[in-house]
């Protein structure tokens, strides 16, 4: 989410409806065999589960203090690093939110119509022809990651966690935890032992994330899925919109984008602080969406740029309640400003900002993901057409 990422997200999630009913959604075909022999998946839990989704707009809201945004100086100084980006798939890919590469360097992305696409990369690093790997019925592929056996795992909104084999076999792997449905599977990361860390962005508002922002309560969580047993457990909860997630190189912690607090959290998995959660990077200039850790441990983050209007709204429960009482959902979405300035930040393993990439001209679509690959930075979008890349000096 960038500039005012939360507004754009709804505008393009046409397949993820507001979802204010309490019925459990139909699930993707679930009787397929294990996705690969290398990594058998346990049977999915089908025990009764309840929805925690709200029946409508929030009627109570919380305000919070938003710090002044960081100055655009030093490593954050405005530059032209994202200008003149080379674009691909503009007529085919709408809302390519996430980008991932397999072991052979093939690029994968998912679009708002539920299609998962792949394209080989040529000698110059350009995606060649995009072909469809699979289409998810009534689901949008929001987050993508590969397991060690080459299965593509997908965070698919109210469908939960989905697996897709190399030949396009689709299987629902998990859609509930502790007797409650996964309402908004948003992003995921896979550890070396196969554990999948999946963000459930909001347990109350499903795809209606603007309501989640206006309510101002910590409705997000991260769940952990163990593929050989099928066990799903809540790893950490009380997150203000749990979005991107990444596992550190030593697997001692997971990093979690907390979108509506403009920061990235670190949840410790091992060591003396195991089980605790702390801020890792605070006061980002964007509302963070997907996050990526590169081979050097650098954290790449993007999202909608924070605006003065958004920061002021965060601190006023009265204003946000007034918006909820006087405007329809569609009016709220249409009325929120989205700044044309887009940027990507890069932090080192200690959480220090070391560089940034900008396009202040409005020439590039709002960004949702930034993935370094070789000599290039590939970026995706929640609402725009195609994907793009720029060189990484």
Rounded distance between C-alpha atoms, residue 19 and residue 53, angstroms:
8
Q: Is the pTM of this model over 0.75?
A: yes
Partners of 279 in the β-ladder:
265
Cα dihedral 10, 11, 13, 17 sign = positive
* CATH number of the domain enclosing 78: 2.120.10.30
The answer to whether the beta carbons of residues 362 and 83 sit under 8 Å apart is no
Question: Which of 167, 164, 174, 149 is CA-nearest to residue 110?
Answer: 164
Within 10 angstroms of residue 322's Cβ, the number of other Cβ atoms is 12
Determine which helix (DSSP H) or strand (DSSP E) holds 349, and give its type and residue range. none
**Full residue range of the structural domain in which residue 44 is found:** 5-391
pLDDT value, residue 330: 86
Cβ neighbors of 303 (< 8 A, separation 6 or more) are 1, 2, 5, 257, 259, 284, 286, 287, 288, 289, 367, 368
Within 10 angstroms of residue 362's Cβ, the number of other Cβ atoms is 10
Rounded distance between C-alpha atoms, residue 78 and residue 271, angstroms:
39
Rounded distance between C-alpha atoms, residue 370 and residue 323, angstroms:
32
pLDDT value, residue 360: 95
pLDDT value, residue 34: 52
Phi then psi dihedrals of residue 10, to 5 deg: -70, -40
For 48-75, the DSSP string reads --B----SSS-S-----PPPPPPPS-GG
The answer to whether the beta carbons of residues 198 and 185 sit under 8 Å apart is yes
- pLDDT under 50 in the chain at which residues? 1-28, 30-33
The tokens of 338 are what?
A: 């989205």
The answer to whether the beta carbons of residues 175 and 198 sit under 8 Å apart is no
pLDDT value, residue 151: 93
DSSP code, position 315: T
Cβ neighbors of 183 (< 8 A, separation 6 or more) are 19, 51, 52, 53, 158, 200, 202, 203, 204, 205, 206
Determine which helix (DSSP H) or strand (DSSP E) holds 291, and give its type and residue range. strand 286-293
- Reported as a single tens digit per residue, the pLDDT across 206-218 is 777 889 999 999 9
The answer to whether the beta carbons of residues 316 and 63 sit under 8 Å apart is yes
Structural domains counted in the chain:
1
């Amino acid at each position: 989410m960038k500039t005012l990422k939360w507004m754009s997200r709804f505008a393009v999630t046409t397949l993820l409806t507001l979802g204010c009913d309490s019925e459990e959604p139909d699930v993707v075909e679930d009787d397929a065999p294990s996705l690969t022999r290398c990594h058998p998946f346990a049977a999915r839990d089908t025990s009764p589960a309840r929805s925690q989704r709200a029946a409508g707009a929030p009627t109570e809201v919380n305000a919070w203090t938003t710090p002044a945004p960081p100055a655009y100086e030093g490593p954050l100084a405005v530059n032209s690093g994202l200008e003149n980006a080379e674009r691909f798939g503009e007529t085919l890919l709408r809302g390519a939110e996430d980008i991932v590469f397999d072991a052979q360097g093939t690029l994968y992305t998912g679009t708002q119509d539920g299609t998962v696409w792949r394209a080989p990369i040529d000698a110059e690093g350009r995606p060649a022809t995009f072909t469809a790997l699979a289409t998810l019925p009534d689901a949008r592929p929001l987050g993508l990651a590969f397991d060690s056996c080459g299965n593509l795992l997908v965070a698919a909104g109210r469908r939960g966690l989905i697996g897709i084999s190399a030949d396009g076999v689709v299987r629902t792997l998990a859609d509930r935890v502790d007797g409650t449905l996964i309402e908004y599977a948003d992003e995921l990361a896979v550890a070396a032992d196969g554990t999948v860390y999946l963000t459930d962005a909001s347990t109350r508002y499903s795809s209606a994330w603007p309501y989640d922002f206006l309510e101002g309560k910590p409705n997000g969580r991260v769940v952990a899925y163990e593929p050989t047993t099928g066990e799903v457990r809540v790893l950490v909860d009380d997150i203000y919109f749990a979005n991107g997630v990444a596992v550190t190189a030593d697997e001692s912690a997971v990093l979690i984008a907390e979108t509506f607090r403009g920061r990235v959290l670190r949840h410790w998995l091992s060591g003396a602080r195991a089980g605790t959660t702390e801020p890792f990077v605070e006061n980002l200039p964007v509302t963070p969406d997907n996050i990526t850790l590169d081979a050097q441990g650098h954290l790449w983050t993007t999202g909608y740029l924070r605006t003065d209007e958004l920061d002021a709204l965060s601190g006023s429960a009265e204003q946000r309640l007034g918006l909820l009482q006087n405007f329809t959902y569609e009016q709220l979405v249409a009325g929120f400003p989205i700044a044309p300035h887009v940027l990507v930040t890069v932090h080192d393993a200690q959480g220090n900002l070391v560089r940034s990439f900008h396009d202040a001209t409005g020439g590039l679509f709002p960004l949702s993901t930034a993935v370094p690959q070789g000599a290039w930075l590939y970026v995706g979008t929640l609402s725009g057409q195609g994907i793009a890349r720029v060189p990484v000096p």
